[in-house]
Chain A
Amino acid sequence: MSYVAIADQVSELHDPQSFITKYVWSQDHKVIAIQYGTTAVLVGLVALVLSGLMRLQLGFPDTFDFIDPNSYLQFVTMHGMIMVIYLLTALLLGGFGNYLIPLMVGARDMVFPFLNMLSYWSYLLSVIILMASFFVPGGPTGAGWTLYPPQAILPGTPGADWGIILMLVSLGVFIVAFTMGGLNYVTTVLQARARGMTLMRMPLSIWGIFVATILGLLAFPALLVSAVMMMFDKVLATSFFMPALVSLGEHSETVGGSPVLFQHLFWFFGHPEVYIVALPAFGMVSDVLSVHARKNIFGYRMMVWAIVAIGGLSFVVWAHHMYVSGMNPTFGFFFATTTLIIAVPTAIKVYNWVLTLWRGNIHMTIPMIFAIGFIFTFTHGGLTGLFLGNVVIDLPLSDTYFVVAHFHMVMGVSPILVLFAAIYHWFPLASGRMFNERLGQLHFWFTFLGTYAVYLPMHYLGFLGVPRRYFAMGNTDFIPESAQTLNSGITVAALIVGLAQIFFIVNIIISIRGGRKCDKNPWNAASLEWLTPDMPPHHGNWGKTLPEVHRWAYDYSVPGAKDDFIPQTTPESEVVKENT
């Protein structure tokens, strides 16, 4: 039948002319990526401020009039939800996915740019709806980012009348947006690669984003459906998740629903979701490490299989969030086993990152130090995951600050460090300029040390048994006074780290205009995105002819070759030999 592989198509490019089509209603994946990125970072900052407010209450209880149990729970919920969905998922896939995929696989753009554009605008809409919930009567929902029914839609929980509805709608819109983008990412990776770019030659960034997107496409449906059902329960008084109950003295009409069903659906989405934010980070950090260590990524094939394995396994571990949910406890055996199995492929990745540095030639650039920081924090966070995964240990630790510490270590800082590494690493490509080194240093040291100071002590609060989602601990006969001092310490650290993000923002702002113009491929990277005819790449990325790929993305310090890197587009014949 009459069709040509995209890589072989002769493309007729008519660049958009007007400002509007170029930067607003743009269909260029690079512009869309920037739009996604900035929006995500802005909501991220909101979530950051919320975390600051939470910390103020926890660190210095009974001091702030404007934080009461009501608003506290709202802060917690919005903080968690924004960070996980609207910041990380959007920034990693919508932002970096969009920017990197076509450039790294050698395509002119996503296969379906128009859909891609719609994706961003729907995402923006979902963000607006979410933010609107701060201004409706009763404020945003305070049901926790897990939105467990019945409590999420009953009086006695903040925002149980309007907040929750807006939250569900916003999530729905977000899922639509993600699907439109996701279809593009997957199809582009599968069908639009340049000549010679086999799957097994793709940079790990692409592998991470690719698998994460597939996870998303298969996991979000569960969230969508549970959101629809909860909406029914809320608006039409149906009984999907609502058994017969007595809410604040009122007998409910509902009967026969099952709250645990929601938890299963939520976590069937929720667990893959945490890997959706982890895998792209895994991928990008691999590339950053390899480039700046001037050494090929160690065990590339294992790394790919590890990503795929983690992706697959992540669909059969969800109930490890429900060990103490009152579900049939015998499930614990199965889910504990699958959960701990995940440690093995993840371990392989950790080892291979370290072994990539081993006998490398490490340049301590800003992206690199962030990447190395990631290895440290992620190992720590992952290992605490093994506590929680081992079902009996979860018994005392579940719903305490140990869990909070665990997921901030793996999710609240590790992918964040990678994000920063990636932003600094690809900033020259996107802007054609260099960022400010000193500010970058400051940003790293504050964020890395600061976050560790925030999260390490939290584990110990967890060991003590301090519960999460508590407005105030009050007095108990097992928590020593000193715990409060510890909490204040955490708060101070957190506020410092939060403020330190100013270094980053200032750096970006001044560097975009005022940064030193840098020459092409400043890091001497071998992967395709740096090999565009002009930098920053123009619309269509590759000028007249698409690139042709002759090798994998990691030919650094190849013996016999003169330079310490061989671009992917260089055929064997043209490799400049070492003059011995």
Chain B
Amino acid sequence: MKLAVVLVLLVVGSIIFHFVSPWWFTPLASNWGSIDFTINLTFWVTGFVFIAVNLFLAYAVYKFRHDKNRKALYEPENQKLEGWLTAITTLGVISLLAPGLVVWNDFVSVPEEADVIEVVGQQWQWGFRYPGKDGKLGDSDSRHVSMENPLGIDPTDEAGQDDIIVLEHEIHLPIDRPVKTLLRSKDVLHDFAVPQFRVKMDLIPGTVSYLWFTPTVDGTFDILCMELCGIAHHAMRGKIVVESVEKYTEWLSTKPTFAETQNGGKGDPIAGQASFAVCGSCHGQQGEGNMAMNAPQLSGQSPWYLRRQLHNYKNGLRGTHKDDIPGQQMASMAAMLQDDVAIKNVVAYIDSLSAPTPSSTFEGDPEHGKSLYVTCGSCHGKQGQGKFSLGAPKLAGMQDWYLKRQINNFKTGLRGVHKKDNYGSQMILMARMLSSDEAVDDVVSYINTL
């Protein structure tokens, strides 16, 4: 009795929940309306079955509840009835499957005219490659992967030279043009998924998988990694900007070709020394840092990281938040370095300086910090030595007060919020695991011991 009522209420409740819930598919932004159609079809068919079966169940439970002077009907089987039910169900299933297979057929067969782009996954970054003028992607192999060639493109392959390399997590696509994305991974399984496009496919190391879609709406869409790929799986994000062909081609023209990325020379320390004089006034002539001036130690930090940060300051990816006073100072300083060459030089000079080991400025519980650091270590290295391949800077031997402030900046959104700052946005997600100030102190004090 009670149960019968509850069953009815549950059915009704589920229906109500469905209609009031604001949680439903995000608006479609690709050609895959047909997928949405099959979903809705399935939803209504199964929804009907759900309601029918359970209301019938509830009714039976209510109608035939115990009554001592009624005897249950003795009916071993009723083949006619069972036959009918089987037939109807079969029809129901066919009505669901048939459209599904038709749409799948579309998905499997990629249109001839589709543009091809390549998506490369690695823990826990996205990389992208456009075919360039010749319209062909050059060969690639994980054997070629190196600091200068993160996508592992075959340097000897002509077709590869003009390929356009995009290493920030944001790519642009022209609207209303079908795209075929070739998917490949450098390390483990990943999954390239864009909810608004309704498509996803795994990236597998050693093989190339694919999917295709036609973006139909202007705007920015999230790329999520949907195959478990380790600790920062949830922080492996990217963006797709869909825009007019003009804007798209303009954007693409600003990106370097593979050949261009290969001839980046080393900086010149002598030239760098001159410009460093200014920096030295805050950071110290040995780049040892100066807490009073909020200027962190520079010597000992990996050059590639310093270069990236100087670019970030220069291009407004960092030091723009109104509450980030030191950041703003630094941004204005970085502006004085004219171009990439200047940056390379000054970094080359800093690289030549000898790094002192800073003294700790506050107390924490390294033991607790150690356990917290397990997560950090998978990117920054067990010894905090930093890992270029993950874009994770050196932490060991850096000043604790600075580390602490940066972690808090990430947590409070003073740093890493800029759309283009993909490493920053990742760090935001990771920093959140240090929910209390103690936790921050502890982990930093552990890093100090490395």
Min Cβ gap B443→A in Å is: 10
- A150 CB contacts on chain B under 8 angstroms: 187-189, 205
B78–A299 CB distance below 8 A? yes
Is B361 located at the chain interface by the 8 A CB criterion?
no
Partner of B430, one of A69, A354, A358: A69
- A336 CB contacts on chain B under 8 angstroms: 97, 100-101, 104
B200–A372 CB distance below 8 A? no
9-residue interface stretch from A212-220, A226-234, A362-370: A362-370
Would A386 and B46 be within 8 Å (CB), given that A246-B187, A299-B82 are in contact? yes
B228–A249 CB distance below 8 A? no
A324–B191 CB distance below 8 A? yes
17-31 of chain B: CB within 8 A of chain A: 17, 21-26
Task: Indicate with 1 or 0, residue by residue over B1-20, a CB within 8 angstroms of chain A CB atoms.
Answer: 11100110010001001000
A399–B374 CB distance below 8 A? no
Partner of A478, one of B64, B191, B196, B227: B196
Task: Indicate with 1 or 0, residue by residue over A557-580, a CB within 8 angstroms of chain B CB atoms.
Answer: 111000010000000000000000
Complex Cα spacing A556 to B71, Å: 9
Q: Give the size category of A's interface with B.
A: 35 or more
Complex Cα spacing A148 to B270, Å: 51
Is B311 located at the chain interface by the 8 A CB criterion?
no
A472–B432 CB distance below 8 A? yes
Is A456 located at the chain interface by the 8 A CB criterion?
yes
- A296 CB contacts on chain B under 8 angstroms: 74-76
B46–A259 CB distance below 8 A? no
- A360 CB contacts on chain B under 8 angstroms: 60, 64, 72-73
Task: Indicate with 1 or 0, residue by residue over B371-382, a CB within 8 angstroms of chain A CB atoms.
Answer: 010110010000
Complex Cα spacing A369 to B414, Å: 56
Complex Cα spacing A58 to B2, Å: 34
B204–A259 CB distance below 8 A? yes
- A395 CB contacts on chain B under 8 angstroms: 35, 107, 198-200
9-residue interface stretch from A36-44, A103-111, A376-384: A376-384
Partner of B39, one of A380, A387, A457: A387
Partner of A473, one of B24, B193, B195, B234: B234
9-residue interface stretch from A341-349, A410-418, A426-434, A521-529: A341-349
Is B57 located at the chain interface by the 8 A CB criterion?
yes
B7–A376 CB distance below 8 A? yes
Complex Cα spacing A69 to B434, Å: 11
Task: Indicate with 1 or 0, residue by residue over A320-341, a CB within 8 angstroms of chain B CB atoms.
Answer: 0000111001101100110011
9-residue interface stretch from B85-93, B172-180, B279-287, B397-405: B85-93
B26–A478 CB distance below 8 A? yes
- B439 CB contacts on chain A under 8 angstroms: 65
A379–B39 CB distance below 8 A? no
Is B217 located at the chain interface by the 8 A CB criterion?
no
B234–A396 CB distance below 8 A? no
9-residue interface stretch from A22-30, A120-128, A462-470, A536-544: A462-470
Is B292 located at the chain interface by the 8 A CB criterion?
no
Is A506 located at the chain interface by the 8 A CB criterion?
no
Is B321 located at the chain interface by the 8 A CB criterion?
no
Is B255 located at the chain interface by the 8 A CB criterion?
no
Min Cβ gap A349→B in Å is: 11
Task: Indicate with 1 or 0, residue by residue over A55-77, a CB within 8 angstroms of chain B CB atoms.
Answer: 00000011111011110010000
Task: Indicate with 1 or 0, residue by residue over B402-425, a CB within 8 angstroms of chain A CB atoms.
Answer: 000000000000000000000001
348-404 of chain B: CB within 8 A of chain A: 372, 374-375, 378, 387-390
A379–B200 CB distance below 8 A? no
- A343 CB contacts on chain B under 8 angstroms: 89, 93
Is B428 located at the chain interface by the 8 A CB criterion?
yes
B183–A156 CB distance below 8 A? no
- B201 CB contacts on chain A under 8 angstroms: 324, 326
B432–A62 CB distance below 8 A? yes
A340–B187 CB distance below 8 A? no
A472–B202 CB distance below 8 A? no
- B226 CB contacts on chain A under 8 angstroms: 398-400, 467-468
B228–A396 CB distance below 8 A? no
A293–B54 CB distance below 8 A? no
Is A477 located at the chain interface by the 8 A CB criterion?
yes
Complex Cα spacing A298 to B81, Å: 11
Task: Indicate with 1 or 0, residue by residue over B187-218, a CB within 8 angstroms of chain A CB atoms.
Answer: 11101010110111111111101000000000
Is B304 located at the chain interface by the 8 A CB criterion?
no
Chain A residue nearest to B106 in the complex (CB): A392
B74–A558 CB distance below 8 A? yes
Is A243 located at the chain interface by the 8 A CB criterion?
yes
Would A357 and B57 be within 8 Å (CB), given that A259-B205, A470-B234 are in contact? yes
- B322 CB contacts on chain A under 8 angstroms: none
Task: Indicate with 1 or 0, residue by residue over A508-528, a CB within 8 angstroms of chain B CB atoms.
Answer: 000000000000000000000
Partner of A372, one of B61, B93, B145, B202: B61
B77–A245 CB distance below 8 A? no
A383–B46 CB distance below 8 A? yes
- B436 CB contacts on chain A under 8 angstroms: 65
Is A504 located at the chain interface by the 8 A CB criterion?
no
B57–A372 CB distance below 8 A? yes
- B101 CB contacts on chain A under 8 angstroms: 333, 336-337, 391
A245–B230 CB distance below 8 A? no
276-335 of chain A: CB within 8 A of chain B: 293-296, 298-302, 324-326, 329-330, 332-333
Partner of A243, one of B103, B205, B231: B205
Is B96 located at the chain interface by the 8 A CB criterion?
yes
Is B142 located at the chain interface by the 8 A CB criterion?
yes
A341–B35 CB distance below 8 A? no
Is A361 located at the chain interface by the 8 A CB criterion?
yes
- A237 CB contacts on chain B under 8 angstroms: none
Complex Cα spacing A131 to B128, Å: 42
Is B246 located at the chain interface by the 8 A CB criterion?
no
- B199 CB contacts on chain A under 8 angstroms: 395-396
Complex Cα spacing A380 to B189, Å: 31
A299–B77 CB distance below 8 A? yes
9-residue interface stretch from A188-196, A201-209, A480-488: A480-488
- B275 CB contacts on chain A under 8 angstroms: none
Partner of A154, one of B89, B187, B196: B187
Is A144 located at the chain interface by the 8 A CB criterion?
yes
B71–A361 CB distance below 8 A? yes
Is A452 located at the chain interface by the 8 A CB criterion?
yes
Would A337 and B97 be within 8 Å (CB), given that A344-B90, A358-B60, A472-B234 are in contact? yes
Is B341 located at the chain interface by the 8 A CB criterion?
no
Chain B residue nearest to A375 in the complex (CB): B57
- A477 CB contacts on chain B under 8 angstroms: 220-222
Complex Cα spacing A158 to B232, Å: 11
- B100 CB contacts on chain A under 8 angstroms: 336, 390-393
A474–B235 CB distance below 8 A? yes
Is B112 located at the chain interface by the 8 A CB criterion?
no
Is B143 located at the chain interface by the 8 A CB criterion?
yes
Chain B residue nearest to A383 in the complex (CB): B46
Would A390 and B97 be within 8 Å (CB), given that A246-B122, A396-B198, A399-B200 are in contact? yes
Is A238 located at the chain interface by the 8 A CB criterion?
no
Partner of A246, one of B61, B204, B389: B389
Known: A357-B60, A457-B17. 6 other contacts (CB 8 A): A157-B231, A251-B142, A361-B72, A362-B64, A392-B100, A460-B17
| 8 smallest beta-carbon distances between A and B, as pairs | A243-B206, A249-B389, A465-B195, A326-B209, A151-B188, A156-B230, A460-B23, A557-B72
Residues of B within 8 A of A (CB): 1-3, 6-7, 10, 14, 17, 21-26, 34-35, 38-39, 42-43, 46, 49-50, 53-54, 56-57, 60-61, 64-67, 70-78, 81-82, 85-86, 89-90, 93, 96-97, 100-101, 103-105, 107-108, 122-123, 141-143, 145, 152, 183, 185-189, 191, 193, 195-196, 198-207, 209, 220-222, 224-235, 237, 372, 374-375, 378, 387-390, 425, 428-430, 432-436, 439
Interface pairs (15), CB distance under 8 Å: A63-B435, A73-B228, A157-B230, A248-B187, A259-B206, A295-B74, A332-B108, A357-B60, A383-B50, A387-B43, A390-B42, A393-B100, A396-B199, A465-B26, A480-B23
